[in-house]
Amino acid sequence: MESQEETIIRQNYDGNIINNCEIKSSSEIYLIKQKISENYNEITKCRKTIKKSQNDIETLKDTLYELCQHTFIRDFSAAPDDIYKYYCKKCHLYRH
């Protein structure tokens, strides 16, 4: 049978937050370090997915810009010093 302290620590391994509990064994320390490493790996994986999606969007926008028969109209919400003042009313991309 495990002590109340071991139960608290074990419950926290399954959750996202580990409270200030007294850790006594090296296996518990190892498990916490492993969980930290897994979370860092998940963050890295998500960043790579986001970067790939951003690149895919840019490629698709370039393709759309080349294929569209643009009809550019003034974007009245653009500031006077904005680079992009006109957008296509068909594809909604700004004029280069």
From residue 59, alpha-carbon distances to 3, 29, 66, 92 in Å are: 58, 45, 11, 15
Q: What is the pLDDT of residues 2-58, one digit of tens each?
A: 555 555 555 555 554 555 555 567 888 899 999 999 999 999 999 999 999 999 999
Reported pTM: 0.62
